[in-house]
Amino acid sequence: MKILTATEMQSVDRWTAEEFGISLDRLMEAAGGAVAQFCLRQYPAAIRVVALCGKGNNGGDGFVAARVLAQAGRLVRVVLLGRVTEVKGEAATALRKLREEFSSVAVDEVVDEGGLTACAGVMNEAELLLDAVVGTGFKPPLRGLAVSLRGMVEGLGTPVVAVDLPSGWDANSKEQTAAGSFRADGVVTFTAPKIAHVFGHLTRNERTGGVFGPVVVAGIGSPEDAVVSASGFSWAGSSKAMAERPRDVNSNKGRFGHVLVVGGSYGKAGAPAMASLACLRTGAGLVTAAVPKSILDLVAGIAPELMTVPLAEGTKGSVSFKNLDGAKLDALVKKISVVAVGPGLSTEGDAPAFARQIVEKTSVPVVIDADALNAFEGKTELLHGEGRVMVLTPHPGEMARLAGMTVKEVEADRVGLARRFAMEHKLTLVLKGWRTLIAHPDGSIAVNTNGNPAMAKGGSGDILTGIVAGMLAQYPNDVARAVETAVYLHGLAGDYAAHAMDEHTVLATDTVTHLSDAFRYRVVDADGLVWICGLRS
C-alpha cells in the first residue's frame, strides 16, 4: 500500500475520473458510505449522530455519510459551517440528495458565533460526532468558526470519527502531533493513507486513558494503476500477508531455516535468550544460541527447543576472539541460514572485534543489533551488503553512533538519514522509534504504524532481532517483505500485550506471548477496510 501526499491524492481522484470514467460523484458516494458503515459497526449503540460539515468535498463526504446513517435508522443532524447556497460541485449534489431523501434531517447553517452557540445543545445530546469540516486538501491553521467548533468538540466526551483526517491536520505532515486540530477517536480515509496517517498520532484520546483508536483506509473505486506515488513510502503492514499463508502440509523443519543467535555476556544472558525465544515463536525451523560458556545454562532454560553452543570467554565474561580461530567459525555457521549477532554481546575485550569478524567472514544473511552495531562505530565502511543480505536494527542512540551525530540530529531527519544510510551501504536499515522505518537499498521506505509505549522496556529490541531473523530464515528470497512483516508483527504483538495488560506492566517477553494473536490478525476487516492503526475486536 503506497503512501501519498495531498497533491498525489488529488491527482489520483482526477485521473480516476478522466482516465477510468469513475465520476467524482461516485467516489464521494463510496467515501461517505464507507464512513457510515464504519460508524455503524464501531458504534452500533450510537443513535443520535451529528455531522459537522464544511462547504467543500470533505463536507460532501459527510453529507453522504449522514444520508446512509439516516437510512440505517439513526437520528442524524447536520451542522454546516456556512450557508447551503455556498456549497458547490459534488458536495452540493450530495447535500441536495440528503435533503430530498430525508427531509427529517435538519441542516443547521452556521455563519457566526451566535449560530454556533445555538447548536451547542444538539451537540451535547449527540452520541457520535462526524468531523467532516476540512480534509486532505486543507492547509493549516484552522480559522474563524472552525476554531470555535473545535473548542466545543474538545469540551465534549462524545466520540468523534474524522472523515479523511482530523480537521486542521496537514496531510503532508510527518509530525507526531498537530496543535490546533480536531481530536479524533477514529479516522476513515480513502484509497491510500496520506503522509499524516502513518506519521501522525491521530487518535490518541487522553479522555480514554491514551487508548490508540483506529485509522482505516477504505477503497472507493480508484484503480490501482491510478495510485501513483513519488515519495517512495509504503505501509509496512501490507507485507504481513506473507505470514498468513498456510504452510504446506508436507513440511519439515529444514524448510523453515536454521538461525544462529550470537551474543550474550556475563550479566546479559537474557538478551540472547529472548532473541532466541522470539525466533522460535516466529516459525524458524531450528534455532541455536551461541553464547559464552558461563551463561549457557541460563540461556538454554528459556525453551527446551533451543539448541546451544558454548563460546570461549575473554574479558569480564564476554566472548573471546579465539572462537574465530581455524575451523571454529566454519563449524559454528555450518548449515546455518541466518546469523543474528549482537544481543547482550558487550563492548568489553574482544567482543567488538569478534562482532566485526563474524559479520565479515560469514556470507549468509546477517541481522546486526545492539552491541554488534556499537562495534562498527567509526568503522561503518565495513558495513556493506553488496552481494549479501544485511539487516541493521538500531535505536536512535545506536544510529547516532553509527552516523557520527547526536540523537537529536538523528530524530530531526529520520527519513533522510535512514534512506541515505541504506542506499550507501546497500543494506536494510530498521530505524526503531515512533513510527519505525524500514529503509531498503533501493531507497524505498516502509513505515510501521503499530507499537506503543508499553514496549519501551529493556529486551524489546532483542525480541525484534529474533523475529526479523526468524522471518528471514523462512523467506530468504523476499527480504524486504520479510523484514517489514517482522517489524509489523512485533508492534502488533506489543499492541495485543498492552491491550491485555496495563501498559506499565508489559514485559518484552509478553510480546512473544502474543505473537500468535499477531499472526492470526488480519489487517483487512469484513467490510474491506484496511486497519493501519488500532486493534479491532
Instruction: Cite the annotated binding site for AMP by residue number.
Output: 432-436, 461
Quick one: which H or E segment has residue 512? helix 508-513
Neighbours of 388 (CB within 10 A): 14
Q: What is the Cα–Cα distance from 29 to 161, expressed in whole angstroms?
A: 17
Please, is 114 exposed, middle or buried when counting C-beta atoms within 10 Å of its C-beta (0-12, 13-18, 19+)?
A: exposed
Residues in CB range of 148: below 8 A, 6 or more apart: 113, 116
Cβ pair 286, 259 in contact under 8 A: yes
Neighbours of 223 (CB within 10 A): 12
SS3 385: coil
Which residue type occupies 188? Answer: V
CB burial of 289-319 (b: ≥16 within 10 Å; e: otherwise) equals bbbbeebbeebbebeeebebbebebbeebbb
Neighbours of 232 (CB within 10 A): 16
Angle between helices 57-71 and 89-101 (to 10 degrees): 20
Binding site feature residues for K(+): 58, 131, 167
Which residue type occupies 324? Answer: L
Q: What are the start-end ranges of the H helices in 362-425?
A: 370-374, 396-403, 407-412, 414-425
Cβ pair 485, 389 in contact under 8 A: no
Cell, residue 530: 484496511
DSSP code per residue over 72-113? TT-EEEEEEES-GGG--HHHHHHHHHHHHH-TTSEEEEE-SH
Cβ pair 515, 282 in contact under 8 A: yes
Binding site feature residues: 57-61, 131, 135-141, 164, 167, 271, 344, 395, 432-436, 461-462
Binding site feature residues for (6S)-NADPHX: 57-61, 135-141, 164, 271, 344, 395, 462
Closest by CA position to 1, among listed 536, 534, 523:
523
Helices (H) then strands (E): counts for the chain:
20, 20
Cβ pair 71, 103 in contact under 8 A: no
Q: What are the start-end ranges of the H helices in 303-432?
A: 328-333, 351-361, 370-374, 396-403, 407-412, 414-425
Quick one: which H or E segment has residue 300? helix 296-300
Distances (CA, A) of 412 to 25, 55, 405: 41, 37, 11
Beta bridge partners, 288, equal 260, 307
Q: What is the Cα–Cα distance from 146 to 113, expressed in whole angstroms?
A: 10
Which residue type occupies 476? Answer: P
